[in-house]
């Protein structure tokens, strides 16, 4: 069954959804977050005015512990909201450092379920695991996040492992959240026709499908396996080993990695890790995943990236992965390069070539609009430049210029925001997109090599080409018989 059919809701739930959305908004606004958004001057004047009105009506004058209040509300609301909070935790430019510090607890410091339940789940998945395979098992989990928690153990051959198990009833809880998000998208599209081109409901479908796949841990194991294959020759990026013989849909057994969180600067410096080198490797890996492979880690918050004792970057969660076609990658590479080069007319041209512009759109006016939103961002100090924000601003032009929003970029934009936020946390003076520029330029040159294109065309059509002499002979025979 398609994800769209799964997210459909009965008509009688609409009044309930209306009341629920209003109550959630009031709860969130009461944390004081609106005053924080206004103070950080992240949004344009029109949005700031709306925020001020909402803050006047619903806001809380007590501005203390905003992050803690918001964190508690998101936890109580459910796993879908926790995922939203995880993404926000990487954006101190929006919420401030103290708020983001509190939201980091959503990345792996949630209340775990009981040891009894954990053991029962493991035993249900593999009744012989405890007796035949494990030499030791730690009942206290090392991490508890939105959909799963992780325990450590030791196999009888001495190898230390991490055992990830899904939380009870998580399928039902997460699906309930995404159904509500889907209704909100449909509601906005119905009452605000101008935002339909943003494809909000389709974006929810994409994120729902990706996130719901996270609930099958064999798919996560498969993703880790594919990522490991892609980076098998990379000296500074290591994917932990998957123990397939113990892995099931509800339990993932993986090599345990001793490491330091990528944003724990105090510990990284204490162990004399090279922060600049880590930033460069992280940028290179992100580029290779997105542009070379079209298969990227879609949940790149700092809690999912460790630095091992050798200084290698080690991803530890593979539940959310994204894919881009070669056509999507070429569009993105050209978009990024031309924005960084401030070639705004070319930015319009690639949108047009990708059939993303409506008819009768003035290219000159669109180019001018892109320049207007790009210049303030690109003129900032290098460490503050956010291409993810710029991409979002360009996509927001869809209302006035009928730009067709591409849902496949939704997860990528979220990942870009996380990657930028993480890079900025560990090395504020570095811009990952400037580091990526030479890699992207080389990739564009290589993928547009006419000889390579010709070679690919020949390979794709070689069966038909090889039949040409046979066809000519048959034509010659027909002509001879006449």
What is the rounded distance in angstroms from the CA atom of residue 30 to the CA atom of residue 61?
9
What is the rounded distance in angstroms from the CA atom of residue 250 to the CA atom of residue 214?
10
- Cβ burial of 275 (10 Å; 0-12, 13-18, 19+) is middle
In this structure, are residues 260 and 336 in contact, taking their beta carbons and an 8 Å threshold?
A: no
C-alpha dihedral, 38 to 39 to 41 to 42, nearest 10°: -70
Specify whether 328 is catalytic.
no
HEC letters along 344-389: HHHHHHHHHHCCCCCCCCCHHHHHHHHHHHHHHHHCCCHHHCCHHH
- Ramachandran quadrant class, 311 (left: phi over 0; alpha: psi -120 to 50; beta: rest): left
Question: In the chain, what is the straight-line distance between the N-terminal and C-terminal CA atoms, in Å?
Answer: 58
How far is CA 41 from each of CA 96, 101, 346, 381, 396, rounded to the nearest angstrom? 11, 20, 30, 17, 18
Least Cα distance to 371 among 399, 346, 403, 404 occurs for 346
What is the DSSP secondary structure assignment for residue 318, as one 8-state letter? -
In this structure, are residues 165 and 151 in contact, taking their beta carbons and an 8 Å threshold?
A: yes
Return the H-helix or E-strand segment holding 144.
strand 143-144
Quick count: other Cβ atoms within 10 Å of Cβ 161? 21
SS3 call for 96: coil
Of the candidates 177, 263, 299, 317, the residue annotated as catalytic is 299
HSE at residue 163, side-chain half, CA atoms within 13 A, is 28
Least Cα distance to 426 among 279, 255, 309, 236 occurs for 279
- Reported residue count of the chain is 482
In this structure, are residues 142 and 107 in contact, taking their beta carbons and an 8 Å threshold?
A: no
What is the rounded distance in angstroms from the CA atom of residue 29 to the CA atom of residue 391?
27
Active site residues: 299
């Amino acid at each position: 069954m398609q994800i769209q059919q799964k997210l459909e809701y009965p008509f009688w739930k609409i009044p309930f959804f209306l009341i629920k959305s209003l109550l959630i908004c009031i709860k969130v606004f009461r944390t004081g977050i609106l005053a924080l958004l206004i103070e950080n001057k992240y949004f344009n004047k029109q949005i700031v005015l709306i925020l001020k009105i909402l803050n006047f009506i619903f806001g809380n004058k007590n501005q203390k512990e905003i992050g803690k209040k918001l964190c508690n509300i998101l936890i109580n609301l459910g796993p879908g909201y926790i995922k939203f909070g995880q993404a926000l935790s990487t954006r101190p430019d929006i919420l401030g450092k103290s708020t983001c510090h509190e939201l980091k607890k959503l990345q792996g410091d949630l209340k775990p379920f009981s040891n009894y339940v954990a053991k029962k789940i493991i035993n249900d998945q593999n009744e012989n695991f405890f007796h035949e395979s494990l030499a030791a098992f730690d009942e206290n989990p090392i991490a508890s996040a939105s959909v799963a928690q992780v325990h450590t153990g030791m196999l009888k051959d001495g190898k230390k492992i991490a055992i990830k198990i899904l939380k009870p009833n998580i399928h039902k809880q997460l699906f309930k959240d995404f159904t509500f998000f889907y209704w909100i998208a449909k509601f906005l599209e119905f009452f605000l026709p101008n935002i339909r081109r943003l494809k909000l409901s389709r974006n929810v479908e994409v994120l729902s499908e990706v996130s719901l796949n996270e609930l099958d841990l064999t798919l996560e194991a498969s993703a880790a396996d594919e990522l490991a294959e892609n980076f098998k020759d990379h000296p500074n990026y290591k994917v932990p080993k998957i123990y397939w013989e113990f892995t099931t849909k509800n339990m993932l057994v993986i090599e345990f990695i001793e490491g330091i969180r990528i944003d724990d600067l105090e510990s990284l410096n204490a162990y004399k890790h090279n922060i600049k080198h880590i930033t460069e490797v992280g940028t290179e890996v992100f580029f290779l995943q997105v542009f070379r492979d079209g298969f990227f880690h879609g949940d790149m918050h700092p809690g999912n990236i460790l630095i091992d004792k050798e200084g290698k970057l080690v991803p530890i969660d593979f539940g959310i992965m994204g894919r881009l076609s070669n056509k999507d990658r070429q569009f993105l590479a050209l978009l990024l390069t031309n924005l960084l080069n401030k070639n705004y007319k070319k930015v319009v041209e690639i949108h047009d070539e990708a059939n993303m512009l409506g008819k009768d759109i003035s290219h000159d006016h669109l180019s001018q609009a892109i320049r207007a939103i790009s210049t303030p961002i690109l003129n900032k100090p290098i460490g503050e430049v956010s291409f993810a924000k710029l991409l979002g601003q360009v996509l927001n032009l869809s209302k006035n210029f009928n730009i067709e929003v591409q849902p496949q970029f939704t997860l990528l934009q979220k990942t870009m925001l996380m990657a930028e936020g993480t890079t900025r946390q560990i090395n504020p003076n570095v811009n990952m997109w400037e580091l990526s520029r030479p890699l992207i330029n080389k990739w564009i040159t290589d993928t547009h090599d006419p000889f390579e294109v010709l070679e690919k065309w020949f390979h794709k059509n070689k069966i038909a080409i090889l039949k040409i002499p046979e066809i000519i002979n048959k034509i010659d025979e027909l002509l001879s018989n006449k």
